[in-house]
Amino acid sequence: MTEFRVEPLSSKTHDRKSFNCGRPSLDRYLQRQARQAQRARANAVFVMARVEKPKRIVGFYSLCGVGIDPGVVPKPALKRLPLYPQVSAFLLGQLAIDREFQGRGLGGVLLVDALKRAHAATNSVGAVMVVTDPLDESAAEFYVKHGFQRFENLRRMFLPMATIARLFTTT
């Protein structure tokens, strides 16, 4: 069985040019913008590669912190939160799998990795949810399948950190 690893994007290690997920905006982000965003510390970008071919990017995602207007957050998600001008969250800004590897469940593997990193980061930086902005209804269905909920009247979706914590907390 092929083994994969997920690690921070590196200009010296990873070949961004050959990545093709079939979504021009996601391909362009990885090929032209991801390293700049990472250098500027605007996003943390993580790539999945096969252990035996570490240069070949199989998939990637980006994470960053974001503030959300509490007025758009569904009321049940605001329960027990202090009243602040912004709700703190992590934004899962991009997530894509190369066409050659689609249909193997690797998107779910990357999502779990992103959620683990976001959960671990809450030991240092507060955040009450992970949010994402799916590009289309197919992407939205992927996130719904993994427990994300929709904001009312927005394309944006969220998964509460309390739910994420239950996924990774052992009893």
| pLDDT tens track for 121-171 | 998 998 999 999 999 999 999 999 999 999 887 789 999 999 999 988 764
The reported pLDDT for the residue numbered 1 is 47
| Count of domains for the chain | 1
61 is catalytic: no
Q: What is the extent of the structural domain holding 34?
A: 4-168
The reported pLDDT for the residue numbered 129 is 94
| pLDDT tens track for 35-92 | 999 999 999 999 999 999 999 999 999 999 999 988 888 887 777 777 788 889 999 9
Q: Quick check: 24 pLDDT over 90? A: yes
Beta bridge partners of 91: 64, 131
Q: What is the torsion angle, in degrees rounded to the nearest 10, for the CA atoms of residue 66, residue 158, residue 117 and residue 32?
A: -60
Q: 145: domain CATH number?
A: 3.40.630.30
Q: Decide: pTM greater than 0.85.
A: yes
> Among residues 29, 61, 84, 143, which one is catalytic?
143
